[in-house]
Chains A and B, each alone.
Chain A
């Protein structure tokens, strides 16, 4: 693969940092809560962490998908949780909150605001998320066949196995590692794991994937506050600076792509400056075990990097928030001094069609 010449590093004047992160405790179902009731405590948490109120936030952006709720424009009602009066500068993406964060980052970098509130949520429980996700597929050639998200991930995983890049024991080991790491994450849904040998005795869900290779179905929400330069320094003693962030997308048709590779992740990583120095941590939005394999290769991560110490999406997968949570988890580690340089990745579309990579660092320039 070749790439265009790498652009110059982002200038220092309007460095953007994550200064707060909060997430709900992710669960299989939250029947007793509406979406705004789910989101409100998370919003209150990040505002409390920073001492900000919504009237002092320059820009608000959220990510969610009405298809999870089955109700068009349902995302507008979640905005009640922000308190949008007097009217605020606000936007929404029908995507994972990681892309809402990207939009907020652009606003901050271009000087239109100094602080931003980014939030995302997803209640997968009302519908069958596996089948709902078929609605994002090409409406002429793919959607009418209803190939669910597990089936598509299974096709990708079999391609990896055929190419000798991974095998079922290695995939099971990924699941075990992730869910045992989640024991340290009180927000995760699946915490702890049986041994790989026991997992491999279970029946296939869609071969070659077994249940453990798949993410849980989760309801959850997350929020992040971004700030620029001195505003960030005033809001957190150790801001998690976004040194670079970029996203790229590939062709939609799975049959046109090499499903064992992720050129869009690699390209986004180059443009985000991910290869400028080795990270100590990488939070990867890989809902399926095989996808972690693809992403590790694209990001050239070796065993020295702690991958998904939060447990990752295999431990909690609130669709539409899981990508934002990767950025938040990476930032939180930097805040706590557990990481100095972290990659955070988010994905969208079937079989890792679209990918976002962010590079976060703890020291100031």
Chain B
């Protein structure tokens, strides 16, 4: 049986992608610290915006300005962050429905661990707000993560 050889193999993708009008507008918004949604065929607001309605496939063009606050619709707690994830201390993953939107956006949530007794801890229904990255370039990472609104702004 020959010696089992091994060698490191690093694969890097430095792709630059064109964004098109809808994602381009959305990312422009993020760069300028504005969250944009888009109106779907049935009038519901999608955030993140979609180029085509997920049900009717109609081309969507009506952007909607949204506040930077929202509600957690589901979550997970990540005790051991992995490479390239948004934070390097334990954090929550969350689907956040921005106020005024009817769909949710996935991102990291920097908040106390669930069941810590803290009113601002990660949970479904938590009220949250965008924490903007200090340096923004027009990417989803212009949102550094979400963070809890203060305790007095949390619903029970």
Distance in Å from the Cβ of A63 to the closest Cβ of chain B?
21
Q: Which residues of A contact B (CB under 8 A)?
A: 31-32, 70-71, 126, 130-131, 139-142, 144-148, 151, 154-159, 162, 203-204, 206-209, 251, 253-256, 259
- The answer to whether B141 and A204 have CB atoms under 8 Å apart is no
What is the size, in residues, of chain B's interface with A at 8 Å between Cβ atoms?
A: 42
B105 within 8 A of A: yes
- The answer to whether A145 and B140 have CB atoms under 8 Å apart is yes
Distance in Å from the Cβ of B6 to the closest Cβ of chain A?
7
Within 8 A of A (CB), among B53-105: 54, 73-79, 82-86, 93-95, 97, 103-105
Inter-chain contacts of A145 with B (CB < 8 A)? 85-86, 106-108, 140-141
Inter-chain contacts of B141 with A (CB < 8 A)? 144-145
- The answer to whether A32 and B140 have CB atoms under 8 Å apart is no
- The answer to whether B82 and A154 have CB atoms under 8 Å apart is no
Beta-carbon nearest neighbor of B6 in chain A: A31
Residue of B19, B82, B106 touching A255 (CB-CB under 8 A): B106
- The answer to whether B75 and A158 have CB atoms under 8 Å apart is yes
Pair count A-B, CB < 8 A: 106
- The answer to whether A144 and B139 have CB atoms under 8 Å apart is yes
- The answer to whether B77 and A204 have CB atoms under 8 Å apart is yes
Beta-carbon nearest neighbor of B46 in chain A: A256
Inter-chain contacts of A253 with B (CB < 8 A)? 48, 50, 54, 103, 106
A208 to B105, CA, bound (A): 20
Residue of B50, B82, B108 touching A256 (CB-CB under 8 A): B50
- The answer to whether B93 and A255 have CB atoms under 8 Å apart is no
**Given A140-B19, A145-B141, A207-B114, residue A158 in contact with residue B103 (CB < 8 A):** no
- The answer to whether A131 and B83 have CB atoms under 8 Å apart is yes
Inter-chain contacts of A259 with B (CB < 8 A)? 74
Beta-carbon nearest neighbor of B17 in chain A: A139
Inter-chain contacts of A151 with B (CB < 8 A)? 76, 78, 93
Q: A139-B15, A155-B94, A159-B73 are in contact. List 7 more A-B contacts (CB 8 A).
A: A126-B9, A154-B76, A155-B93, A158-B76, A204-B77, A253-B48, A255-B104
